[in-house]
Structure 1
């Protein structure tokens, strides 16, 4: 159960704004990055086209599948009492360096326009490996509107292991960095391995899925499933983190206890959402590649973007699902009595290679704008970030050639922290944040 500490909200918010005002980074290295090799002055993705026909919206329908409570209880009874986010943060064992202390190559991966106001590079033990790649981010600003979880400000970053390199037992696994962000000058984190209960809760296996999108809402963490899967999303309960008891390479029950490839903590899935019409394909359900929370809708909603290959002619889809307002279903999507989830809004965009998505309604506007972060067609170098609506699309321009490739290098997902007005994202080398207002100014 979450202890929100709402009585501290005003005091925390004022202190936080004061801290943020004094921690902007002068990350000038990224501002000189554009070169001839990056010039990619391509046309924009254009205006959004609404999708409303049953043939289009029916492909977005999900079916909820929850792990039986008896299975989850059996697993926790065998492993010991579950722990919460605070317990993980109390045992952080890796530190992050601020942008000015990171290498030139690290800083060169940051956005060119607008510049990041805060940026951090990962512990060298993680940054040195190319087998694990960061792809998604969400924060306690998503989890609750006061921006804190218990006593802490938290950033979660999802990483996926390569399916072709490294030890065979690790390939395709997914893990989450639980980052203690209470002190903006000294971020620290601990890894938690994502797993899936099997054998009716008597064991678990590692989740083998690319988590390119991730949203923390209330006490649930929703992550994307791998492209081509019948599963669209996996669901995790952040009140059900479990400690392992054996430090070994195996994953699951072992002689003497429970192991997770050397990780101290595992997070077992509590459910999934599968496409009702089968596996995602170009002509069927869309493979979700990016997720974000939108608190500007009623009820709050989960925004999603389809993954298509960068530079392809396949038009991607953007859509949203409503979250449930039933207190007994905290953090889950709204379903009908048969457990089905229908999209409440859908659009078609000409953008391809979408790795980040946000939906946000500006003051004085009737409809929300959709922000999409794209990989370049070559998948190499900096991508672009566009703001789209039903009238058109805008992107920042940078360099003498007015390139649109101004966003981060191999950029990941986007997360809007409403309390601070910041957008969090990550490159292939760094975690960073910048004000949404600055992002919008760069698109004018």
Structure 2
């Protein structure tokens, strides 16, 4: 049975999580490990200063504001979840709160990376953003001449979360090595999902990735500092530039699907989000596909086992052929799901799939869903656009900070009142932007 705001209803195919046992489905989603050669990585390292996470945090040049301080816009505060309620909420520096050229997507943290929640001595949250190619650039830069080198970019905010009253961050551009490590170029990934485990960072690729990559891999041991502050990406006169960013992370490897990649033609699901499941044995990453939120749609969510952290190794457990095999796969209603968690309560053994629904309209709150094999649990509330819309507005990636059991997520939108992107080259454009981008946390214990 399933409960919805206290009302019991019969579970159906759209409510339940059901295990997939098809050997074909499982085999189709196995991943081939692909490594960038050690020589390529060493060559690139030799050409730019190699810094650490602590150095990036120490150079943080953007401040976040706490909703509780009253410094965030009214619509930013309204975008936060109502039930279950948030325990902390933050809004971004003004330029990032209103930019039309970027979209917040995946989220992870040092709470995923290590059991104690620290990377060295720091608490760190990583927020992944992709360039708004299908929205802003498709409308305002279709010729790709108005904003040179701004399309197809991927960046990560390294957030210093040591002091919850004074969070701050620095952007790092994700790149791919070229010319045997003598150069690099923009990565151009979707980053809808992101997971940090040990020193490795994994992000989702685009669904139409030319090399059929499903995931890209980076290392916290390879964060490089640009030597020239210029617009191009890669080698320029006098050194290396990163589109104005101070730091880059070059991919050290990837995981690829079989020829043809993901999509309707192959029947292989494209990963829309990713999270770490530390309640699994061994620790795993969890992925899910995305379907439009307009109506219930059955889709897949699946996992791969994580290998023991190793500086020289890749993050996923692979077989003798170098394949990462699906550990488990399930189907559920994944309409509007752009961030998901799997969690097994160690005290009760109860397994839950947290899969909130992102709704598409301006100002619309999301719908909270906790699913299991018997059905789903949701919530009702007041003061939102719909009694069942109690989750954050347009929420994206989810991450469980294991040490303390706190769920972190973020919201995406900063469109106008009609839900449209605006040209930020026009005078006064910021006044038309509705600020709905927030970073927030919710205690796992409050998520029914």
State the TM-score bracket (shorter-chain normalisation). Answer: 0.7 to 0.9
CA shift, 1:289, in A, is: 0.6
Question: 1:84 corresponds to which residue?
Answer: 52
**Contact 2:275-2:285 at 8 Å conserved across structures:** yes
Bigger CA drift: 378-387 or 109-118? 378-387
CA contact (8 A) 2:14 2:297 kept: no
- Give, in angstroms, the shift of residue 330 of structure 1: 5.0
Instruction: Give 3-state SS (helix, strand or coil) of 1:57's partner.
Output: helix
Going from structure 1 to structure 2, the CA distance change for 1:378 and 1:184 (only over 3 Å counts) comes to closer
Q: Is it true that 1:185 corresponds to 2:165 in the alignment?
A: yes
Matched, 1:234 2:216: yes
Distance in structure 2 (CA, Å) of the matches to 1:350 and 1:245: 48
Q: 1:387: how far off?
A: 1.1
User: Is it true that 1:355 corresponds to 2:338 in the alignment?
Assistant: yes
Distance in 1, matches of 2:86 and 2:284, equals 27
Structure 2 distance, partners of 1:101, 1:241, is: 33
Which residues of 2 match residues 194-209 of structure 1 at below 5 A? 194-209=174-189
Equivalent residue of 1:184, what SS?
A: coil
Q: Contact conserved, 2:279 with 2:346, CA < 8 A, in 1?
A: no
Is the CA contact 2:173–2:245 (under 8 Å) kept in the aligned structure 1?
Answer: yes
SS at match of 2:272: strand
CA contact (8 A) 1:310 1:352 kept: yes
C-alpha distance after superposition, 1:321-377 (max 9, x if no partner):
001137465561011121111101000112212111101112444452111122126
Is 2:387 aligned against 1:398? Answer: no
Distance in 2 (CA, whole Å) between partners of 1:239 and 1:325 is 17
Equivalent residues of 2:338, 2:395 under 8 A apart? yes
The match for 2:440 is 432
Kindly indicate whether residue 41 of structure 2 is the aligned counterpart of residue 72 of structure 1: yes
Q: Which has the higher mean CA deviation after the structures are superposed, 430-439 or 304-313? A: 304-313
The one-character-per-residue Cα deviations of 1:82-134 (angstroms, maximum 9, x if unpaired) are 11100101111111111021010111111121221111111112112121111
The structure-2 alpha-carbon separation of the partners of 1:419 and 1:326, relative to structure 1 and needing over 3 Å to count, comes to closer
Seen in structure 2, the aligned counterparts of structure 1 residues 62 and 367 have a Cα distance that, compared at 3 Å, is farther
Contact 2:356–2:370 (8 Å) recurs in 1 = no
Please give the secondary structure, in 2, of the residue aligned with 1:384: coil
State which of 372, 383, 398 in structure 2 corresponds to 1:414: 398
Gaps of 5+ in 2: 1-11, 142-146, 413-436
Q: Secondary structure at the match of 2:51?
A: coil
Conserved 8 A contact 1:318-1:348: yes
Match of residue 219 from structure 1: 199
How do 1:109-124 residues align onto structure 2 when only pairs under 5 Å count?
109-124=79-94
Q: CA deviation at 1:208?
A: 0.9
- State the distance in 2 between where 1:354 and 1:419 align: 25
Q: CA deviation at 1:170?
A: 1.1
TM-superposed deviation, 1:63: 0.7
* Greater mean alpha carbon deviation, residues 127-136 or residues 142-151: 127-136
| 1:306 and 2:289 aligned | yes
CA distance in 1, matches of 2:40, 2:299: 37
The aligned residue for residue 270 of structure 1 is 252
| Greater share of helix | 1
Worse-superposed segment, 377-386 or 94-103 = 377-386
State whether residues 115 and 434 of structure 1, in contact with CA within 8 Å, keep that contact through their aligned partners in structure 2.
yes
Give 1:399 shift: 2.6
Write the distance in 1 (CA, Å) between the matches of 2:43 and 2:237: 18
Query: 1:182-206 CA distances to partner (integer Å, 9 max, x unpaired)?
Result: 1010001000000001111111111
Sort the Cα spacing of 1:115 and 1:328 in 2 relative to 1 into closer, same or farther, 3 A.
closer
- Is the contact between residue 112 and residue 400 of structure 2 (CA under 8 Å) also seen in structure 1? yes
How far, CA to CA, are the matches of 1:177 and 1:376 in structure 2? 25
State the secondary structure of the residue aligned to 2:155: strand
Provide the C-alpha distance between the structure 2 equivalents of 1:348 and 1:220, rounded to a whole number of angstroms.
28
Structure 2 counterpart SS, 1:88: helix
Q: Compared with structure 1, are the counterparts of its residues 386 and 309 closer, same or farther at alpha carbon in structure 2 (3 Å cutoff)?
A: same
Q: 1:228, CA displacement in angstroms?
A: 2.7
8 Å contact from structure 1 (residues 218, 331) kept in 2: no
The structure-2 alpha-carbon separation of the partners of 1:125 and 1:402, relative to structure 1 and needing over 3 Å to count, comes to: closer
Say yes or no: does 1:58 pair with 2:38.
no
In the alignment, is the contact (CA less than 8 A) between 1:217 and 1:331 conserved in 2? Answer: no
Deviations 1:200-256 (A, max 9, x none): 111111111221110110000000111233211110001100000110000001110
Q: Answer yes or no: is the 8 Å Cα contact 2:101–2:131 preserved in 1.
A: yes
Structure 1-normalised TM-score?
0.85
Q: Is the 8 A contact 1:310 1:378 kept in 2?
A: no
Alignment match, 1:98: 66
Cα distance, 1:190–1:338 mapped onto 2, change above 3 Å = same
User: 2 CA distance for matches of 1:119 and 1:378?
Assistant: 22
Equivalences for residues 239-254 of structure 1 within 5 A? 239-254=221-236
Which stretch has the larger CA shift, 361-370 or 207-216? 361-370
